[in-house]
Structure 1
Amino acid sequence: MIEKMKKLTLIVTEKERDSFIQQLRTAGVLHIKPSQSPVSCDINTVVEQLTIVDRAISILTPYNHKLGSVRDSSDAAYVELSRTIANKHSQLEELDSLRKTLEAQLNWYSGWGTVSLEDIKRFEQKGIFLSFYKTSPDEYKRIKGTAPIITIKKEKHLIWFVEICYKEPSVLPFEKIELPEISYQKLKADLEKISVAQQGIFDYFTANAAYFPGLQNYQKKMQANLKLLQVKHGMHEESQFSYVQGYCPEKFLKVIIEVAEKSAAGYVIEPPDDVSDTPVYITNPKWIRIIDPIFKFMNTFPGYDEHDVSLVFLIFFSIFFAMLIGDAGYGLLFLGITFLVRQKYKTAPSEPFFLLYTLSILTIIWGAITGSWFGFEKIAQLPFFNSLIIAQLSSFSEGSRDNIISLCFLLGAIQLTIAHILKGLRIANSIKVLAQLGWISIIWGMFFAAGTLVLGNPFPAYGGGLLITGIGLVLIFANFQKNIIKGSVSILPNLILDVISSFSDVVSYLRLFAVGYASAIMSASFNEMALAGGVDSVVSGLIAATILFLGHSLNIILGFMAVIVHGVRLNMLEFSGHLGISWNGKYYQPFDGIEHGREQKGENNE
């Protein structure tokens, strides 16, 4: 859930300011809102040093695996070391650029041979001019015999040749091939020097990788120092006092009050005056927080005055994932890979792994009840696997198509209904809540309309009543005011479009069937392609195995793409659109250098 926040203004004397800021950081619960743009020479110095250290860490990262004994150093030495590393990396880039230039010239010699530039110059001094050309075989035949020509190389579509002219340069109607500026011997020598210089820099990076952990620690120290300075110089000063503003969850107010009283600071606590600027702090039980990696991956966050839909998102995203992947064999594969990776990275955050466990298990369940095991119908016909199949949903039954489409529409209607229920709960004490009941009625009317238009099901008699009742409730109560006609007329144009849109939103869930069906057909097709000729030799077995591996790998990749494009979309657009979530919220980042936007702080809510 989204925790309630309070806006705080804390006033402290200039004498106590530095100590007070340190205590605020130790408390680690106040999200700072600068009262003015933080500007100071100290900030500029730290930013400059941090930029250099960041670059040094980035440069040394590839060498970190070669780390032997760890070394430590002083702060000043770390800055100087970072400068040296950055300078050497710049030298490395310059050497690499020069190497590419020289190699381009060396390539000329690989085509024309180790021509002596000195000899060519001596020939020119005696009135003998050599001109280098490339042309097509047809053009070459046309000019051959008109001038002294030496053929250097013949290719299928290109002839390399040299024309010899006396007293004046060539006048052939072709573009001359320019000679390199440096001789072959000097190019080889220069490239060797560059290689030695580059290796020296690589060795330097390898030797100083021992300072990598120390540089990382110094980087964190500098980041904390920078944030401290930004808070200090972001405080507004008035006479002998300074004040800082920020936001704090209600549950942590006691901590801030204790800090203020300890520093003899004054404070003002008030409700947030701008919800768009108020950070969001979400707390959920651990089993719901497994969906957080998806939100972080998409970099989306609800606004302070919006809904936390973590639970709804988790439930429906998991179902959508299972239906889009659609194969129990793939689910088993995902489950096994997740388990093995988890064993290797036991200290990694647990949420992504438990999310993958959940998605894998639901995929196995959906694949089992539809009879999809790597697209092989014969596996589904085995007694045990056949007993798991729900006949009405079987992937290999022609009659199941309409049932799965109906299930997709049902899931859509349920999820959109939940959106309007959540929206209605916010205004439960207002008569406008009836408009949300109206939208629920419209959605279920559109559910039956989708069944009629897409599947040819008979439209129930009460379906029209649902639509008429729903439209009436929305028309009257969505913008309810004393003058009912005026309120209704003002929303009528948008209402027409929204009603039509609600139909397309329900039908949009058809994508779950379409993608899952395409995946099943694709896997079955690759199976047939691989095994159609039989497997009666080692070679045919290898060919079949290769086709199966590549085919199912491609199908899995396309399945993951479908999850991102379609599974996420149904939650982020259709569902969120009906709920009114804009996903433009701000993370709650308390002044302690750690992000807590979707993490617990100071309590266990499992």
Structure 2
Amino acid sequence: MAIVALDKLTVFGPASQKFETILGLQELGCLHLIPLGEAPGRTSPPVSQETREALRYLDACAVHRAPSPGEAPFDREAVTAEVLATKHAEEALADERDELQEKIAALEPWGDFERPPEGALGRNRLWFYLIPIKRLSELPGDVVWEVVRRDRQFAYVVAVAESPAAIPLRNVELDPRSLSELRARLATVERELDDAHWRRVTQTRWRDPLRLELDRADDAVAQAAAAAAAWGDENVFALRGWSPRVAVDDVRAFCDRRGLALTVEVPAPTDAPPTLLQNPDRVAGAEGCVTFYITPGYRAWDPTGVVYLSFALFFGMIVSDAAYGLVLVVGLLLFWGRLGQSRSARQFRYLAVGLVSFTVAYGVAAGSYFGLEPPAGSLLDRLRVYYDGQPMTENRNAMMAVSVMIGVAHLTLANLIAAWNSRRSSRLLGHLGWAVVIVSGFLWGAGAMTKAPALVEFGMPATIAGAVLVILFSSAQPLLTASPKAHALRLFDGAMQIPNLTKAFGDVLSYLRLFALGLASAQLAITFNDLASQSFRAGGAGVALALVILVAGHAVNILLGLMGGVVHGLRLNCIEFFNWSLNDEGYPFRPFTKKATS
């Protein structure tokens, strides 16, 4: 688990070989190009956005058809137009279907009738009113009206009048077509929707040719950008980029075959190379959790492994139920094959395995199974963690202390890592000082709360000593200098760290959300169980209602646990942890590579 070492490569050659060299380097796919001179402008893709829209539409189809041998020649523009015509027709039909369903639902209470032709009632028309039953007495006697239907709340009234103002109540607008006409049109629309769906399925045979066209277009755009990024005149050209050190030999061999010159330079202190993370597949799924918030600088460190473990732990503590974890295991097994079709999918699968494993393990330690406790004396009860004769998760003070201890450990690790990354400067002692402040401050506070004088006697002076280290060694100013100004700036920089004492305190307390969200999940599960039990004891329809409460309630609780586990698990890593361990933000490595496979 590391940030890949890069070298700066510059390729030189005759101008006549420029385009050929660009194509060859694109085939290699190992260079992050560096513009020489002015950065290239944005190049418009040679393939229209309509083609991309058509491909997205076909990819989203639930059924895909494979290309048939002897297929007619591929005409991208014609296929794009045909697919988009199907898409627009399907969207229009779906909108009309939804509108018809609404109009039918509104018209059904009034019955199936046809309105009289225009002028059949003279200057009068039919007006429709949905009137609360208690207000029927307000209907005027000089207007012809009829109640055509009643329910518990409303009367459905039809009146014959010149204007709706004849009845001083709000009228409703109904579709002028009869219920039979609306239902007939709905049936026609549904048939046309079905036809459009199968046209779409038939058109999915063009997915691969469309994707190939788009990949070739993207390759052409990348080639144009590479040409713009190169330096050259009528005689020679130069192309520069960052390459993983392990790929330098491949580029050198490429240049030797074509008679090109190559220079290789290690990154200078003033260079800012891109960041390329490299992790084993079993933890690489957490790279997305890292880069979601920040891309570590090239000279920083790769937090992927730590994030993988801490995110899984936090997720398990927030879901806090072994049975919920087993439900997630079943869901993972259902999608196991689909999550093995690509490397990125397999990496996500490893991450999901870690999340559900920690969820099940923590749920067993908490002794919660759909909010139920295991029978006393059973194997599951013996696997449950007890503290002071009480289940750990039911001892709120103990769980709060555990959550704070996790926060202390997490932020201390962050400062120790920051200290290691600063080992060539005096700021090493400043980060160590923060680690001491966080740990000793916790011990000091714990000793004061539990009336343990030994912890107070150790924690107080250790906290002060750590704060001194922070004040003296948190500056980037040189330590060994005769300049009074540099020493004054060091002290000023150190004094500016004092407000971070409250930040450290707040960040540690942020980890209480692990306890709070886990407790909320457990209490919701217990509440749903109690409601279902009460309904079941009522008998009759209550038995069916109890089943609905159990299924729907626990499904909602699992969904809330998933959301909370992801959001807050990432937040504790990306906000609290990264703020103390990652001070150098970088930018991702973007390889100049070929997308089209043929």
TM-score by length of 2: 0.81
Return 5+ residue gaps in structure 2 as ranges. none
- Residue in structure 2 matched with residue 205 of structure 1 by the alignment: 200
> In the alignment, does 2:375 pair up with 1:367?
no
- Residue in structure 1 matched with residue 329 of structure 2 by the alignment: 335
> In the alignment, does 2:382 pair up with 1:387?
yes
Structure 1: distance between partners of 2:261 and 2:377: 75
Structure 1: distance between partners of 2:269 and 2:135: 76
Q: Pick the aligned partner of 1:569 from 566, 571, 590.
A: 571
- Label 1:517 to 1:210 Cα distance change in 2 as closer, same or farther (>3 A): same
- Label 1:451 to 1:143 Cα distance change in 2 as closer, same or farther (>3 A): same
Secondary structure class of the residue paired with 1:46: coil
| Offset of residue 538 of structure 1 | 8.7
| Offset of residue 334 of structure 1 | 3.3
Superposition pairs of residues 513-552 of structure 1, within 5 angstroms: 513-531=515-533, 542-552=544-554
- Label 1:242 to 1:103 Cα distance change in 2 as closer, same or farther (>3 A): farther
Checking the alignment, whether the CA contact within 8 Å between 2:412 and 2:435 is kept in structure 1 is yes
Secondary structure class of the residue paired with 1:365: helix
> In the alignment, does 2:457 pair up with 1:461?
yes
Deviations 1:268-306 (A, max 9, x none): 44455798963211122344324335447x465323232
Checking the alignment, whether the CA contact within 8 Å between 2:143 and 2:161 is kept in structure 1 is yes
Secondary structure class of the residue paired with 2:519: helix
Structure 2: distance between partners of 1:417 and 1:93: 55
- Residue in structure 2 matched with residue 600 of structure 1 by the alignment: none
Structure 2: distance between partners of 1:516 and 1:412: 15
Structure 2: distance between partners of 1:362 and 1:191: 51
Structure 2: distance between partners of 1:335 and 1:542: 27
Amino acid at match of 2:575: L
Structure 2: distance between partners of 1:213 and 1:411: 50
Amino acid at match of 1:59: Y
- Residue in structure 1 matched with residue 299 of structure 2 by the alignment: 305
> In the alignment, does 2:149 pair up with 1:160?
no
- Label 1:520 to 1:246 Cα distance change in 2 as closer, same or farther (>3 A): same
Checking the alignment, whether the CA contact within 8 Å between 2:281 and 2:350 is kept in structure 1 is no
Secondary structure class of the residue paired with 1:6: strand
Amino acid at match of 1:466: A
- Label 1:95 to 1:506 Cα distance change in 2 as closer, same or farther (>3 A): closer
Q: Pick the aligned partner of 1:438 from 433, 437, 441.
A: 433
Note the aligned Cα RMSD (angstroms).
4.1
Q: Pick the aligned partner of 1:146 from 129, 142, 145.
A: 142
- Label 1:452 to 1:22 Cα distance change in 2 as closer, same or farther (>3 A): same
| Offset of residue 383 of structure 1 | 3.7
- Label 1:424 to 1:83 Cα distance change in 2 as closer, same or farther (>3 A): same
Checking the alignment, whether the CA contact within 8 Å between 1:39 and 1:234 is kept in structure 2 is no
Superposition pairs of residues 208-287 of structure 1, within 5 angstroms: 208-271=203-266, 278-287=273-282
Structure 2: distance between partners of 1:551 and 1:130: 51
| Offset of residue 266 of structure 1 | 3.9
- Residue in structure 1 matched with residue 469 of structure 2 by the alignment: 473
- Residue in structure 2 matched with residue 352 of structure 1 by the alignment: 348
> In the alignment, does 2:39 pair up with 1:53?
no
Amino acid at match of 1:372: S
Which of 499-508 and 300-309 deviates more? 300-309
Matched residue count = 582
Structure 1: distance between partners of 2:331 and 2:175: 55
| Offset of residue 20 of structure 1 | 0.5
Structure 1: distance between partners of 2:179 and 2:520: 59
Amino acid at match of 2:308: L
Structure 2: distance between partners of 1:278 and 1:75: 46
- Label 1:217 to 1:463 Cα distance change in 2 as closer, same or farther (>3 A): same
| Offset of residue 472 of structure 1 | 0.9
- Label 1:269 to 1:387 Cα distance change in 2 as closer, same or farther (>3 A): same
- Residue in structure 2 matched with residue 318 of structure 1 by the alignment: 312
Secondary structure class of the residue paired with 2:499: helix
- Residue in structure 1 matched with residue 32 of structure 2 by the alignment: 31
Structure 1: distance between partners of 2:232 and 2:103: 64
- Label 1:76 to 1:346 Cα distance change in 2 as closer, same or farther (>3 A): closer
Structure 2: distance between partners of 1:101 and 1:386: 56
Structure 1: distance between partners of 2:381 and 2:170: 74
- Label 1:340 to 1:191 Cα distance change in 2 as closer, same or farther (>3 A): closer
| Offset of residue 415 of structure 1 | 1.9
Checking the alignment, whether the CA contact within 8 Å between 2:472 and 2:494 is kept in structure 1 is no
Checking the alignment, whether the CA contact within 8 Å between 1:75 and 1:218 is kept in structure 2 is no
| Offset of residue 451 of structure 1 | 2.4
Structure 2: distance between partners of 1:260 and 1:17: 12
- Label 1:328 to 1:260 Cα distance change in 2 as closer, same or farther (>3 A): same
Checking the alignment, whether the CA contact within 8 Å between 1:420 and 1:436 is kept in structure 2 is yes
Checking the alignment, whether the CA contact within 8 Å between 2:418 and 2:581 is kept in structure 1 is yes
Structure 2: distance between partners of 1:541 and 1:139: 40
Structure 2: distance between partners of 1:573 and 1:196: 53
- Residue in structure 2 matched with residue 80 of structure 1 by the alignment: 78
- Label 1:67 to 1:285 Cα distance change in 2 as closer, same or farther (>3 A): closer
- Label 1:136 to 1:64 Cα distance change in 2 as closer, same or farther (>3 A): closer
Secondary structure class of the residue paired with 1:257: helix
Deviations 1:348-393 (A, max 9, x none): 53323333333333333333334334433343x2342333334328
Structure 1: distance between partners of 2:316 and 2:388: 14
- Residue in structure 1 matched with residue 402 of structure 2 by the alignment: 407
- Residue in structure 2 matched with residue 494 of structure 1 by the alignment: 496
Structure 2: distance between partners of 1:343 and 1:96: 33
- Label 1:485 to 1:38 Cα distance change in 2 as closer, same or farther (>3 A): closer
| Offset of residue 37 of structure 1 | 5.9
- Label 1:413 to 1:148 Cα distance change in 2 as closer, same or farther (>3 A): closer
Amino acid at match of 2:46: V
> In the alignment, does 2:425 pair up with 1:422?
no
Structure 1: distance between partners of 2:285 and 2:51: 34
Secondary structure class of the residue paired with 1:245: strand
Checking the alignment, whether the CA contact within 8 Å between 1:328 and 1:367 is kept in structure 2 is yes
Checking the alignment, whether the CA contact within 8 Å between 2:403 and 2:511 is kept in structure 1 is yes
Deviations 1:86-136 (A, max 9, x none): 23433554566677788888889765864456x323654xxx443635374
Structure 2: distance between partners of 1:182 and 1:537: 47
- Residue in structure 2 matched with residue 3 of structure 1 by the alignment: 4
Checking the alignment, whether the CA contact within 8 Å between 2:392 and 2:398 is kept in structure 1 is no
Deviations 1:47-71 (A, max 9, x none): 32xx233222222235461526635
